[in-house]
Protein backbone atom coordinates (compact mmCIF):
# COMPACT_ATOMS: atom_id res chain seq x y z
CA UNK A 1 0.00 0.00 0.00
CA UNK A 2 1.17 3.53 -0.73
CA UNK A 3 1.46 6.51 1.61
CA UNK A 4 -1.07 9.21 0.79
CA UNK A 5 0.79 12.41 1.75
CA UNK A 6 0.38 14.96 4.48
CA UNK A 7 -2.92 16.33 3.19
CA UNK A 8 -4.70 12.96 3.13
CA UNK A 9 -6.91 11.76 6.00
CA UNK A 10 -9.11 8.78 6.69
CA UNK A 11 -11.81 11.22 7.79
CA UNK A 12 -12.39 14.95 7.98
CA UNK A 13 -14.92 16.16 10.55
CA UNK A 14 -16.40 19.56 9.77
CA UNK A 15 -17.44 21.23 13.00
CA UNK A 16 -15.92 21.09 16.48
CA UNK A 17 -19.00 20.89 18.69
CA UNK A 18 -20.03 17.85 20.77
CA UNK A 19 -21.03 15.83 17.68
CA UNK A 20 -17.82 16.58 15.80
CA UNK A 21 -15.51 16.07 18.77
CA UNK A 22 -17.18 12.75 19.64
CA UNK A 23 -16.79 11.55 16.05
CA UNK A 24 -13.12 12.55 16.22
CA UNK A 25 -12.63 10.66 19.49
CA UNK A 26 -14.03 7.44 18.07
CA UNK A 27 -12.12 7.69 14.79
CA UNK A 28 -8.80 8.66 16.33
CA UNK A 29 -9.07 6.07 19.11
CA UNK A 30 -9.34 3.42 16.40
CA UNK A 31 -6.16 4.95 14.93
CA UNK A 32 -7.72 6.47 11.83
CA UNK A 33 -6.10 9.72 10.80
CA UNK A 34 -8.72 12.34 11.61
CA UNK A 35 -8.89 16.10 11.13
CA UNK A 36 -11.49 18.33 12.80
CA UNK A 37 -12.03 21.69 11.08
CA UNK A 38 -13.82 24.35 13.11
CA UNK A 39 -14.35 27.94 11.98
CA UNK A 40 -14.71 29.45 15.46
CA UNK A 41 -13.85 28.01 18.86
CA UNK A 42 -14.14 24.30 19.54
CA UNK A 43 -17.17 23.34 21.60
CA UNK A 44 -20.08 24.71 19.59
CA UNK A 45 -23.30 26.04 21.11
CA UNK A 46 -22.77 24.14 24.36
CA UNK A 47 -20.02 26.61 25.33
CA UNK A 48 -22.60 29.36 25.90
CA UNK A 49 -24.65 27.19 28.27
CA UNK A 50 -24.01 28.17 31.86
CA UNK A 51 -25.31 25.01 33.50
CA UNK A 52 -25.46 21.44 32.17
CA UNK A 53 -27.28 19.04 34.50
CA UNK A 54 -28.68 16.39 32.14
CA UNK A 55 -25.54 14.89 30.61
CA UNK A 56 -25.25 11.25 31.77
CA UNK A 57 -22.55 10.60 34.33
CA UNK A 58 -21.90 14.31 34.94
CA UNK A 59 -24.16 15.54 37.75
CA UNK A 60 -23.47 19.22 37.06
CA UNK A 61 -21.03 21.20 34.94
CA UNK A 62 -20.97 24.18 32.62
CA UNK A 63 -20.87 24.06 28.85
CA UNK A 64 -17.33 25.38 28.52
CA UNK A 65 -15.92 22.76 30.88
CA UNK A 66 -17.75 19.93 29.13
CA UNK A 67 -16.59 21.11 25.69
CA UNK A 68 -13.02 21.51 26.92
CA UNK A 69 -13.00 17.93 28.23
CA UNK A 70 -14.28 16.64 24.88
CA UNK A 71 -11.64 18.62 22.99
CA UNK A 72 -8.88 17.23 25.16
CA UNK A 73 -10.14 13.67 24.73
CA UNK A 74 -10.09 14.04 20.96
CA UNK A 75 -6.52 15.35 21.07
CA UNK A 76 -5.39 12.63 23.47
CA UNK A 77 -6.67 9.98 21.07
CA UNK A 78 -4.64 11.55 18.27
CA UNK A 79 -7.14 13.72 16.36
CA UNK A 80 -5.80 16.84 14.66
CA UNK A 81 -7.65 20.12 15.15
CA UNK A 82 -7.57 23.04 12.74
CA UNK A 83 -9.24 26.45 12.90
CA UNK A 84 -10.46 27.36 9.41
CA UNK A 85 -13.55 27.92 7.31
CA UNK A 86 -14.67 25.08 5.06
CA UNK A 87 -15.77 26.58 1.75
CA UNK A 88 -16.91 23.46 -0.12
CA UNK A 89 -16.51 19.74 -0.82
CA UNK A 90 -15.86 18.00 -4.13
CA UNK A 91 -15.97 14.29 -5.02
CA UNK A 92 -12.84 12.86 -6.64
CA UNK A 93 -12.13 9.42 -8.09
CA UNK A 94 -12.27 6.27 -5.93
CA UNK A 95 -14.63 7.90 -3.43
CA UNK A 96 -12.05 10.44 -2.24
CA UNK A 97 -13.45 13.77 -1.03
CA UNK A 98 -11.64 17.08 -1.54
CA UNK A 99 -12.44 19.46 1.33
CA UNK A 100 -11.69 23.10 0.58
CA UNK A 101 -10.69 25.24 3.59
CA UNK A 102 -9.27 28.71 4.06
CA UNK A 103 -6.08 27.03 5.27
CA UNK A 104 -5.66 24.81 2.24
CA UNK A 105 -7.37 21.80 0.69
CA UNK A 106 -7.34 18.34 2.27
CA UNK A 107 -8.39 14.94 0.95
CA UNK A 108 -10.19 12.22 2.84
CA UNK A 109 -12.05 8.99 2.32
CA UNK A 110 -14.89 9.93 4.70
CA UNK A 111 -16.43 13.21 5.80
CA UNK A 112 -18.58 13.83 8.88
CA UNK A 113 -20.76 16.93 8.67
CA UNK A 114 -21.18 18.41 12.16
CA UNK A 115 -21.52 22.16 11.58
CA UNK A 116 -24.44 22.48 13.97
CA UNK A 117 -26.94 25.33 13.95
CA UNK A 118 -26.97 29.06 14.71
CA UNK A 119 -29.55 31.18 16.58
CA UNK A 120 -32.63 31.98 14.52
CA UNK A 121 -33.81 35.54 13.95
CA UNK A 122 -37.55 36.03 14.40
CA UNK A 123 -38.02 39.23 12.41
CA UNK A 124 -39.38 41.80 14.87
CA UNK A 125 -38.83 45.47 14.06
CA UNK A 126 -35.40 46.54 15.31
CA UNK A 127 -33.97 43.02 15.65
CA UNK A 128 -31.15 43.63 13.18
CA UNK A 129 -30.79 47.35 13.79
CA UNK A 130 -30.24 46.98 17.53
CA UNK A 131 -28.26 43.72 17.54
CA UNK A 132 -25.46 44.36 20.01
CA UNK A 133 -27.21 47.50 21.22
CA UNK A 134 -29.78 45.82 23.42
CA UNK A 135 -30.78 42.77 21.36
CA UNK A 136 -28.75 39.63 22.12
CA UNK A 137 -28.78 35.85 21.68
CA UNK A 138 -26.18 34.76 24.26
CA UNK A 139 -26.99 35.15 27.95
CA UNK A 140 -23.55 33.93 29.03
CA UNK A 141 -21.81 36.47 26.77
CA UNK A 142 -24.03 39.49 27.37
CA UNK A 143 -26.05 38.94 30.55
CA UNK A 144 -23.78 41.00 32.78
CA UNK A 145 -24.32 44.10 30.62
CA UNK A 146 -27.91 44.25 31.90
CA UNK A 147 -27.11 44.20 35.61
CA UNK A 148 -29.87 46.01 37.48
CA UNK A 149 -32.04 46.37 34.35
CA UNK A 150 -35.10 44.55 33.08
CA UNK A 151 -34.90 42.12 30.17
CA UNK A 152 -37.36 40.44 27.83
CA UNK A 153 -36.73 36.83 26.85
CA UNK A 154 -38.37 35.64 23.64
CA UNK A 155 -39.05 31.89 23.32
CA UNK A 156 -40.73 28.96 24.99
CA UNK A 157 -38.25 26.11 24.63
CA UNK A 158 -35.35 24.71 26.67
CA UNK A 159 -33.01 27.62 25.95
CA UNK A 160 -35.55 30.30 26.84
CA UNK A 161 -36.50 28.58 30.10
CA UNK A 162 -32.94 27.87 31.20
CA UNK A 163 -31.39 31.16 30.15
CA UNK A 164 -34.15 33.25 31.71
CA UNK A 165 -33.20 31.75 35.07
CA UNK A 166 -29.53 32.46 34.38
CA UNK A 167 -30.32 36.08 33.54
CA UNK A 168 -31.86 36.64 36.99
CA UNK A 169 -28.28 36.72 38.29
CA UNK A 170 -27.95 40.13 36.68
CA UNK A 171 -31.35 41.51 35.73
CA UNK A 172 -33.72 43.26 38.11
CA UNK A 173 -36.59 41.43 36.43
CA UNK A 174 -37.05 39.00 33.52
CA UNK A 175 -40.22 38.81 31.42
CA UNK A 176 -40.53 35.75 29.19
CA UNK A 177 -42.69 35.99 26.06
CA UNK A 178 -44.11 32.58 25.12
CA UNK A 179 -46.12 32.37 21.92
CA UNK A 180 -47.94 29.13 22.86
CA UNK A 181 -50.15 28.09 25.78
CA UNK A 182 -47.12 26.85 27.73
CA UNK A 183 -43.43 26.13 27.47
CA UNK A 184 -42.53 23.38 25.01
CA UNK A 185 -39.63 22.01 27.07
CA UNK A 186 -39.47 19.51 29.93
CA UNK A 187 -41.95 20.42 32.68
CA UNK A 188 -39.28 20.37 35.39
CA UNK A 189 -37.14 22.88 33.49
CA UNK A 190 -40.16 25.08 32.87
CA UNK A 191 -41.20 24.95 36.52
CA UNK A 192 -37.88 26.49 37.61
CA UNK A 193 -38.68 29.43 35.37
CA UNK A 194 -42.32 29.75 36.42
CA UNK A 195 -41.53 29.62 40.14
CA UNK A 196 -38.67 32.14 40.09
CA UNK A 197 -39.84 35.34 41.84
CA UNK A 198 -37.80 37.53 39.47
CA UNK A 199 -39.49 36.08 36.36
CA UNK A 200 -42.87 36.90 34.81
CA UNK A 201 -44.21 34.76 31.96
CA UNK A 202 -46.59 36.18 29.35
CA UNK A 203 -48.28 33.45 27.29
CA UNK A 204 -49.75 33.90 23.79
CA UNK A 205 -47.40 36.85 23.41
CA UNK A 206 -45.04 37.81 20.62
CA UNK A 207 -42.51 40.61 20.29
CA UNK A 208 -43.56 42.89 17.45
CA UNK A 209 -40.84 45.53 17.70
CA UNK A 210 -38.53 47.60 19.91
CA UNK A 211 -37.79 51.32 20.18
CA UNK A 212 -34.51 52.88 21.26
CA UNK A 213 -33.51 56.09 23.00
CA UNK A 214 -30.17 57.64 23.84
CA UNK A 215 -29.19 54.95 26.35
CA UNK A 216 -30.54 51.85 24.61
CA UNK A 217 -33.92 50.15 24.21
CA UNK A 218 -36.70 52.05 25.95
CA UNK A 219 -39.98 50.44 24.77
CA UNK A 220 -41.36 47.35 23.06
CA UNK A 221 -44.53 46.51 21.18
CA UNK A 222 -46.09 43.20 22.23
CA UNK A 223 -48.71 41.37 20.16
CA UNK A 224 -51.36 38.92 21.35
CA UNK A 225 -50.77 35.75 19.27
CA UNK A 226 -54.50 34.90 19.34
CA UNK A 227 -56.20 38.24 18.71
CA UNK A 228 -53.42 40.22 17.05
CA UNK A 229 -53.97 43.07 19.52
CA UNK A 230 -50.85 45.17 20.15
CA UNK A 231 -49.78 47.01 23.27
CA UNK A 232 -46.81 49.07 24.37
CA UNK A 233 -44.49 47.69 27.04
CA UNK A 234 -41.91 49.54 29.12
CA UNK A 235 -39.81 48.54 32.15
CA UNK A 236 -41.60 49.09 35.45
CA UNK A 237 -38.72 51.13 36.82
CA UNK A 238 -37.94 53.02 33.63
CA UNK A 239 -34.56 53.15 31.92
CA UNK A 240 -33.17 50.92 29.20
CA UNK A 241 -33.81 47.18 28.94
CA UNK A 242 -32.48 44.22 26.97
CA UNK A 243 -34.00 41.59 24.68
CA UNK A 244 -32.66 38.03 24.52
CA UNK A 245 -33.97 35.90 21.66
CA UNK A 246 -34.04 32.11 22.09
CA UNK A 247 -36.26 31.06 19.20
CA UNK A 248 -34.53 27.97 17.95
CA UNK A 249 -31.71 27.54 15.46
CA UNK A 250 -30.96 27.49 11.75
CA UNK A 251 -28.83 24.59 10.42
CA UNK A 252 -25.41 25.71 9.16
CA UNK A 253 -25.56 23.73 5.93
CA UNK A 254 -24.94 26.36 3.24
CA UNK A 255 -21.60 24.80 2.24
CA UNK A 256 -23.28 21.48 1.40
CA UNK A 257 -26.43 22.85 -0.23
CA UNK A 258 -26.48 21.08 -3.59
CA UNK A 259 -23.86 18.55 -2.47
CA UNK A 260 -26.08 16.44 -0.18
CA UNK A 261 -29.87 16.29 0.13
CA UNK A 262 -31.45 18.81 2.48
CA UNK A 263 -35.06 19.15 3.59
CA UNK A 264 -37.11 22.32 3.06
CA UNK A 265 -35.72 23.85 6.26
CA UNK A 266 -32.10 23.17 5.30
CA UNK A 267 -31.49 20.16 7.57
CA UNK A 268 -29.42 17.26 6.21
CA UNK A 269 -31.39 14.16 5.25
CA UNK A 270 -29.54 10.98 6.13
CA UNK A 271 -30.04 7.27 6.77
CA UNK A 272 -31.47 6.95 10.32
CA UNK A 273 -29.27 3.92 11.07
CA UNK A 274 -25.87 4.80 9.58
CA UNK A 275 -26.32 8.61 9.37
CA UNK A 276 -24.93 8.45 5.82
CA UNK A 277 -26.15 11.27 3.60
CA UNK A 278 -27.09 11.10 -0.07
CA UNK A 279 -23.35 11.05 -0.89
CA UNK A 280 -21.50 7.82 -0.20
CA UNK A 281 -18.97 8.22 2.61
CA UNK A 282 -20.42 11.52 3.84
CA UNK A 283 -22.19 11.37 7.21
CA UNK A 284 -24.17 13.89 9.28
CA UNK A 285 -24.16 14.26 13.06
CA UNK A 286 -25.70 16.67 15.53
CA UNK A 287 -28.09 19.57 15.22
CA UNK A 288 -27.81 19.98 11.44
CA UNK A 289 -29.53 16.71 10.58
CA UNK A 290 -33.24 15.89 10.49
CA UNK A 291 -34.13 14.59 13.97
CA UNK A 292 -36.68 14.98 16.76
CA UNK A 293 -34.47 16.02 19.69
CA UNK A 294 -31.46 18.36 19.62
CA UNK A 295 -29.53 18.07 22.87
CA UNK A 296 -25.84 17.59 23.66
CA UNK A 297 -26.45 13.93 24.52
CA UNK A 298 -28.06 13.24 21.13
CA UNK A 299 -25.26 15.12 19.40
CA UNK A 300 -22.60 12.93 21.00
CA UNK A 301 -24.61 9.82 20.14
CA UNK A 302 -24.76 10.97 16.52
CA UNK A 303 -21.03 11.57 16.52
CA UNK A 304 -20.32 8.04 17.71
CA UNK A 305 -22.67 6.43 15.18
CA UNK A 306 -21.34 8.48 12.27
CA UNK A 307 -17.75 7.71 13.29
CA UNK A 308 -18.26 3.94 13.41
CA UNK A 309 -19.66 3.92 9.88
CA UNK A 310 -17.02 6.37 8.67
CA UNK A 311 -14.37 3.97 10.04
CA UNK A 312 -15.85 1.12 8.03
CA UNK A 313 -16.02 3.24 4.90
CA UNK A 314 -12.42 4.47 5.28
CA UNK A 315 -11.11 0.96 5.91
CA UNK A 316 -12.82 -0.41 2.81
CA UNK A 317 -11.64 2.56 0.71
CA UNK A 318 -8.08 2.05 1.88
CA UNK A 319 -8.19 -1.64 0.96
CA UNK A 320 -9.75 -0.86 -2.41
CA UNK A 321 -7.34 1.90 -3.42
CA UNK A 322 -4.16 0.78 -1.68
CA UNK A 323 -3.84 4.26 -0.19
CA UNK A 324 -2.99 4.45 3.53
CA UNK A 325 -3.08 7.82 5.31
CA UNK A 326 -0.24 8.46 7.78
CA UNK A 327 -2.14 7.23 10.80
CA UNK A 328 -1.43 8.23 14.42
CA UNK A 329 0.47 5.68 16.48
CA UNK A 330 1.84 7.64 19.44
CA UNK A 331 -1.09 9.48 20.97
CA UNK A 332 -1.23 10.44 24.63
CA UNK A 333 -3.79 7.67 25.10
CA UNK A 334 -1.53 5.03 23.57
CA UNK A 335 1.47 6.15 25.62
CA UNK A 336 -0.57 5.77 28.78
CA UNK A 337 -1.75 2.35 27.64
CA UNK A 338 1.83 1.20 27.02
CA UNK A 339 2.99 2.60 30.35
CA UNK A 340 0.26 0.60 32.08
CA UNK A 341 1.20 -2.53 30.04
CA UNK A 342 -2.40 -2.78 28.94
CA UNK A 343 -3.81 -3.85 25.61
CA UNK A 344 -6.19 -1.68 23.63
CA UNK A 345 -9.78 -2.65 24.58
CA UNK A 346 -10.99 -5.54 22.41
CA UNK A 347 -14.10 -3.77 21.14
CA UNK A 348 -11.92 -1.36 19.16
CA UNK A 349 -10.55 -2.63 15.85
CA UNK A 350 -7.47 -0.56 15.15
CA UNK A 351 -6.53 0.62 11.71
CA UNK A 352 -2.99 -0.45 10.79
CA UNK A 353 -0.39 2.18 11.64
CA UNK A 354 1.64 3.43 8.70
CA UNK A 355 4.88 3.71 10.68
CA UNK A 356 6.34 2.95 14.11
CA UNK A 357 7.67 5.64 16.42
CA UNK A 358 9.70 5.43 19.58
CA UNK A 359 8.14 6.00 22.96
CA UNK A 360 8.32 9.58 24.17
CA UNK A 361 7.37 10.70 27.64
CA UNK A 362 4.17 12.70 28.06
CA UNK A 363 4.86 16.38 28.67
CA UNK A 364 4.46 17.75 32.16
CA UNK A 365 1.57 20.11 32.73
CA UNK A 366 2.62 23.72 33.29
CA UNK A 367 0.96 26.13 35.67
CA UNK A 368 -1.11 27.87 32.99
CA UNK A 369 -1.33 25.34 30.14
CA UNK A 370 -2.47 21.73 30.09
CA UNK A 371 -1.25 19.08 27.64
CA UNK A 372 -3.57 19.89 24.75
CA UNK A 373 -2.82 23.62 24.96
CA UNK A 374 0.91 22.89 25.05
CA UNK A 375 0.46 20.76 21.92
CA UNK A 376 -1.33 23.62 20.19
CA UNK A 377 1.39 26.07 21.23
CA UNK A 378 4.19 23.77 20.06
CA UNK A 379 2.61 23.69 16.61
CA UNK A 380 2.35 27.49 16.53
CA UNK A 381 5.95 27.97 17.70
CA UNK A 382 7.32 25.46 15.19
CA UNK A 383 5.83 27.44 12.30
CA UNK A 384 6.92 30.92 13.39
CA UNK A 385 9.42 32.46 10.97
CA UNK A 386 10.85 35.08 13.32
CA UNK A 387 11.04 35.89 17.01
CA UNK A 388 8.24 37.89 18.61
CA UNK A 389 8.93 40.15 21.58
CA UNK A 390 6.14 40.43 24.13
CA UNK A 391 6.26 43.86 25.71
CA UNK A 392 4.48 44.05 29.07
CA UNK A 393 3.43 47.29 30.68
CA UNK A 394 2.22 46.59 34.18
CA UNK A 395 0.55 48.41 37.04
CA UNK A 396 0.43 47.46 40.73
CA UNK A 397 -2.64 45.19 40.57
CA UNK A 398 -2.88 41.38 40.92
CA UNK A 399 -3.92 41.25 37.25
CA UNK A 400 -0.45 42.48 36.27
CA UNK A 401 1.13 39.73 38.36
CA UNK A 402 -1.06 37.20 36.56
CA UNK A 403 -0.22 38.58 33.11
CA UNK A 404 3.52 38.51 33.82
CA UNK A 405 3.38 34.89 35.01
CA UNK A 406 1.26 33.97 31.97
CA UNK A 407 3.77 35.49 29.54
CA UNK A 408 6.81 34.06 31.36
CA UNK A 409 5.32 30.59 30.98
CA UNK A 410 4.71 31.19 27.27
CA UNK A 411 8.30 32.30 26.78
CA UNK A 412 9.64 29.18 28.55
CA UNK A 413 7.55 26.95 26.29
CA UNK A 414 8.48 28.76 23.07
CA UNK A 415 11.98 27.29 22.54
CA UNK A 416 13.37 30.73 21.88
CA UNK A 417 10.59 31.93 19.57
CA UNK A 418 9.36 34.45 22.14
CA UNK A 419 11.14 37.10 24.21
CA UNK A 420 9.77 39.29 26.99
CA UNK A 421 10.43 42.81 28.18
CA UNK A 422 8.50 44.37 31.05
CA UNK A 423 8.01 47.92 32.30
CA UNK A 424 5.92 49.46 35.06
CA UNK A 425 3.56 52.34 34.33
CA UNK A 426 4.24 55.59 36.16
CA UNK A 427 0.72 56.78 36.90
CA UNK A 428 -1.49 54.62 39.13
CA UNK A 429 -4.53 55.41 41.26
CA UNK A 430 -5.00 54.75 44.97
CA UNK A 431 -5.72 51.09 44.22
CA UNK A 432 -2.53 50.63 42.19
CA UNK A 433 -4.45 50.57 38.90
CA UNK A 434 -2.92 52.29 35.90
CA UNK A 435 -4.58 55.59 35.03
CA UNK A 436 -5.80 55.90 31.43
CA UNK A 437 -7.86 58.18 29.20
CA UNK A 438 -10.95 56.33 27.98
CA UNK A 439 -11.68 58.99 25.35
CA UNK A 440 -8.68 58.07 23.19
CA UNK A 441 -9.23 55.81 20.13
CA UNK A 442 -6.88 53.20 21.64
CA UNK A 443 -6.36 54.12 25.29
CA UNK A 444 -3.21 52.88 26.99
CA UNK A 445 -4.70 50.69 29.74
CA UNK A 446 -2.47 48.53 31.92
CA UNK A 447 -1.77 45.71 32.16
CA UNK A 448 -1.16 45.21 28.46
CA UNK A 449 0.91 42.83 26.35
CA UNK A 450 1.99 44.19 22.96
CA UNK A 451 3.57 42.20 20.12
CA UNK A 452 6.81 43.54 18.60
CA UNK A 453 9.12 42.16 15.90
CA UNK A 454 12.51 43.17 14.51
CA UNK A 455 12.73 44.91 11.15
CA UNK A 456 15.52 44.60 8.57
CA UNK A 457 17.65 47.02 10.61
CA UNK A 458 17.26 44.76 13.67
CA UNK A 459 15.11 47.37 15.41
CA UNK A 460 12.12 46.39 17.52
CA UNK A 461 8.95 47.73 15.92
CA UNK A 462 5.31 47.33 17.01
CA UNK A 463 3.00 45.09 15.01
CA UNK A 464 -0.08 47.04 16.04
CA UNK A 465 -1.38 44.02 17.98
CA UNK A 466 -2.01 44.20 21.73
CA UNK A 467 -4.20 42.70 24.43
CA UNK A 468 -5.22 44.65 27.54
CA UNK A 469 -5.78 42.22 30.41
CA UNK A 470 -4.87 38.52 30.43
CA UNK A 471 -5.75 36.71 27.16
CA UNK A 472 -7.32 33.66 28.76
CA UNK A 473 -10.64 31.92 28.23
CA UNK A 474 -11.84 31.96 24.64
CA UNK A 475 -9.31 34.69 23.81
CA UNK A 476 -6.34 32.36 24.26
CA UNK A 477 -6.76 30.90 20.77
CA UNK A 478 -6.88 34.33 19.15
CA UNK A 479 -3.77 35.37 21.11
CA UNK A 480 -1.85 32.26 20.02
CA UNK A 481 -2.79 32.96 16.41
CA UNK A 482 -1.74 36.60 16.84
CA UNK A 483 1.76 35.31 17.65
CA UNK A 484 1.71 33.23 14.47
CA UNK A 485 0.42 36.12 12.37
CA UNK A 486 3.00 38.53 13.78
CA UNK A 487 5.88 36.10 13.21
CA UNK A 488 4.74 34.95 9.78
CA UNK A 489 3.75 33.36 7.60
CA UNK A 490 0.39 33.81 9.30
CA UNK A 491 -3.06 32.48 8.54
CA UNK A 492 -4.00 32.24 4.85
CA UNK A 493 -6.35 34.79 3.36
CA UNK A 494 -9.22 34.48 0.93
CA UNK A 495 -8.92 35.80 -2.62
CA UNK A 496 -8.56 39.58 -2.72
CA UNK A 497 -8.20 40.09 1.04
CA UNK A 498 -4.43 40.71 1.00
CA UNK A 499 -4.79 43.33 -1.73
CA UNK A 500 -7.51 45.12 0.23
CA UNK A 501 -5.37 45.08 3.38
CA UNK A 502 -2.36 46.52 1.55
CA UNK A 503 -4.57 49.25 0.06
CA UNK A 504 -5.14 50.87 3.49
CA UNK A 505 -2.85 53.92 3.29
CA UNK A 506 -4.00 56.04 6.24
CA UNK A 507 -3.92 55.28 10.00
CA UNK A 508 -6.73 53.07 11.31
CA UNK A 509 -7.31 52.21 14.98
CA UNK A 510 -9.49 49.21 15.79
CA UNK A 511 -10.58 48.85 19.42
CA UNK A 512 -12.00 45.41 20.24
CA UNK A 513 -14.03 45.22 23.44
CA UNK A 514 -14.39 41.56 24.39
CA UNK A 515 -15.32 39.17 27.16
CA UNK A 516 -13.28 36.07 27.93
CA UNK A 517 -16.51 34.03 28.04
CA UNK A 518 -17.67 35.22 24.61
CA UNK A 519 -17.60 32.56 21.89
CA UNK A 520 -18.08 35.11 19.10
CA UNK A 521 -15.20 37.41 20.10
CA UNK A 522 -12.11 35.37 19.07
CA UNK A 523 -12.92 35.31 15.35
CA UNK A 524 -13.42 39.08 15.39
CA UNK A 525 -10.15 39.66 17.27
CA UNK A 526 -8.27 37.33 14.91
CA UNK A 527 -9.64 39.12 11.85
CA UNK A 528 -8.69 42.61 13.01
CA UNK A 529 -5.25 41.55 14.20
CA UNK A 530 -4.57 39.61 11.00
CA UNK A 531 -5.13 42.87 9.12
CA UNK A 532 -2.82 44.73 11.53
CA UNK A 533 -0.09 42.10 11.11
CA UNK A 534 0.09 42.88 7.39
CA UNK A 535 -0.31 46.65 7.36
CA UNK A 536 1.61 49.01 9.69
CA UNK A 537 -1.10 51.63 9.25
CA UNK A 538 -3.56 49.47 11.23
CA UNK A 539 -3.54 48.98 14.98
CA UNK A 540 -5.89 46.38 16.49
CA UNK A 541 -6.00 46.15 20.27
CA UNK A 542 -8.32 43.98 22.36
CA UNK A 543 -9.61 44.94 25.81
CA UNK A 544 -11.14 42.59 28.38
CA UNK A 545 -14.17 44.75 29.07
CA UNK A 546 -14.64 43.26 32.54
CA UNK A 547 -11.38 44.96 33.53
CA UNK A 548 -12.06 48.37 32.00
CA UNK A 549 -15.59 49.51 32.91
CA UNK A 550 -14.78 53.04 31.71
CA UNK A 551 -14.81 51.75 28.13
CA UNK A 552 -18.06 49.88 28.68
CA UNK A 553 -19.70 53.08 29.90
CA UNK A 554 -18.22 55.31 27.21
CA UNK A 555 -19.47 53.14 24.35
CA UNK A 556 -22.64 51.97 26.16
CA UNK A 557 -21.67 48.37 25.48
CA UNK A 558 -24.51 45.88 25.89
CA UNK A 559 -23.01 43.11 23.77
CA UNK A 560 -19.62 41.77 22.77
CA UNK A 561 -17.66 41.84 20.62
CA UNK A 562 -17.91 45.61 20.30
CA UNK A 563 -15.74 47.08 17.55
CA UNK A 564 -14.77 50.76 17.51
CA UNK A 565 -12.97 51.85 14.33
CA UNK A 566 -11.32 55.27 14.13
CA UNK A 567 -10.09 56.54 10.76
CA UNK A 568 -9.41 60.02 9.48
CA UNK A 569 -11.06 61.67 12.46
CA UNK A 570 -14.26 59.64 11.99
CA UNK A 571 -15.38 56.88 14.32
CA UNK A 572 -17.80 54.00 13.86
CA UNK A 573 -19.03 51.44 16.40
CA UNK A 574 -20.25 48.00 15.37
CA UNK A 575 -21.06 44.70 17.05
CA UNK A 576 -20.95 40.99 16.34
CA UNK A 577 -18.73 38.30 14.88
CA UNK A 578 -16.66 39.31 11.86
CA UNK A 579 -14.11 37.59 9.67
CA UNK A 580 -11.45 39.38 7.64
CA UNK A 581 -13.71 40.43 4.75
CA UNK A 582 -16.50 41.92 6.94
CA UNK A 583 -13.83 43.64 9.05
CA UNK A 584 -12.35 45.19 5.91
CA UNK A 585 -15.85 46.26 4.85
CA UNK A 586 -16.24 48.01 8.21
CA UNK A 587 -12.85 49.74 7.98
CA UNK A 588 -13.42 50.87 4.40
CA UNK A 589 -16.77 52.47 5.20
CA UNK A 590 -15.64 54.62 8.12
pLDDT tens, position by position, 358-368: 444 433 333 57
CB 202 within 8 A of CB 176: yes
pLDDT score at 361: 43
How far is the C-alpha of 434 from the C-alpha of 323, rounded, in Å? 60
What phi-psi label fits residue 269: left (phi over 0), alpha (psi between -120 and 50 degrees) or beta?
beta
Task: State pLDDT tens for residues 409-432.
Answer: 999 999 999 999 999 998 998 889
> Considering only the top CATH level, what class is 2-118+251-339?
alpha beta
* pLDDT value, residue 315: 94
Name the CATH topology of 135-247: FAD/NAD(P)-binding domain (3.50.50)
Please name the helix (run of DSSP H) or strand (run of DSSP E) that holds residue 104, with its range, or none.
none
CB 101, CB 87: distance < 8 Å? yes
Residue 553: what pLDDT? 86
> What is the Cα–Cα distance from 178 to 184, expressed in whole angstroms?
9
Mean pLDDT check: name the lowest of 352-361, 381-390, 470-479, 566-575: 352-361
Which residues, 6+ apart, have CB-to-CB distance to 99 below 8 Å?
Answer: 12, 14, 37, 86, 89, 105, 106, 107, 108, 111
pLDDT surpassing 80 at residue 16: yes
| pLDDT (0 to 100) of residue 359 | 45
Q: What percent of the chain has pLDDT over 70?
A: 92
Instruction: Name the range with the highest mean pLDDT among 138-142, 218-222, 338-342.
Output: 218-222
* Peptide bond just before 489 cis, omega within 30 deg: yes
What CATH number does the domain located at 371-588 have?
Answer: 3.40.30.80
Q: Is 279 helix (H, G, I), strand (E, B) or coil?
A: coil
Sign of CA dihedral 45, 51, 52, 54: negative
Looking at residue 467, its pLDDT comes to 97
Give yes or no for residue 11 having a pLDDT over 70.
yes
Reference 80, options 117, 37, 120; nearest CA is 37
Per DSSP, the residues of 35-77 read EEEESS-TTGGGGG-S-B--BTTBSSB-HHHHHHHHHHHHHHT
Is the model's pLDDT at 379 over the cut of 90?
no
- Which pLDDT belongs to residue 191? 95
pLDDT digits (tens, 9 = 90+) for 448-467: 999 999 998 999 999 999 99
Q: What is the pLDDT of residue 84?
A: 85
Which regions of the chain carry the CATH code 3.40.30.80? 371-588
Q: pTM for this structure?
A: 0.61
98-141, pLDDT tens digit by residue?
999 988 899 999 999 999 988 888 999 999 888 877 898 888 77
Mean pLDDT value across the chain: 89
> What's residue 362's pLDDT?
39
Rounded distance, CA 547 to CA 429, Å? 15
- Is the peptide bond between 447 and the residue preceding it cis, with omega within 30 degrees of 0? yes
pLDDT-wise least confident of 180-189, 359-368, 400-409, 538-547: 359-368
Residue span(s) of the chain under CATH 3.50.50.60 come to: 2-118+251-339, 135-247
Instruction: Look at residue 302 and tell me whether its pLDDT is greater than 60.
Output: yes
**Reported confidence tier of residue 300, pLDDT bands at 50, 70, 90:** very high
Q: Give me Rg for the CA atoms of the chain.
A: 25
pLDDT at 535: 97
pLDDT, mean of residues 270-283 = 96
pLDDT at 545 over 80: yes
- Does residue 563 have a pLDDT over 50? yes
Q: What pLDDT is attached to residue 227? A: 95
Q: Which residue has the higher pLDDT, 201 or 368?
A: 201
Q: What is the pLDDT of residues 316-337, one digit of tens each?
A: 999 999 998 988 777 777 777 6
Amino acid sequence: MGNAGQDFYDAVVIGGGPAGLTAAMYLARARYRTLVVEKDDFGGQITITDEVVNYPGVPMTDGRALASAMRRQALDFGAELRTADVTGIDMLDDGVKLVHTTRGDVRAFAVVLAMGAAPRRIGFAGEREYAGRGVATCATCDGEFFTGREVLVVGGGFAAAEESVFLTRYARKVTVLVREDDFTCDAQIAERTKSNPKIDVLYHTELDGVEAGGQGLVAATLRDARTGERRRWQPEHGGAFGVFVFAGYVPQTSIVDGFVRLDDDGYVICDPTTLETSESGVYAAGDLRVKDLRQVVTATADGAIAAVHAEQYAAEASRRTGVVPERPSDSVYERKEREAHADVPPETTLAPASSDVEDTPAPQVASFFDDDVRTQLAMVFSRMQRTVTLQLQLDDTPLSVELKAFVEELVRLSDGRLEMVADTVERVDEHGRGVFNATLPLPFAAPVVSLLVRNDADELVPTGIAFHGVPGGHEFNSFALALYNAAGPGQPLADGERERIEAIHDPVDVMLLVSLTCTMCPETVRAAQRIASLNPNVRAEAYDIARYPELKERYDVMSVPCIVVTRGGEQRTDFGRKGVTPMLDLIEHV
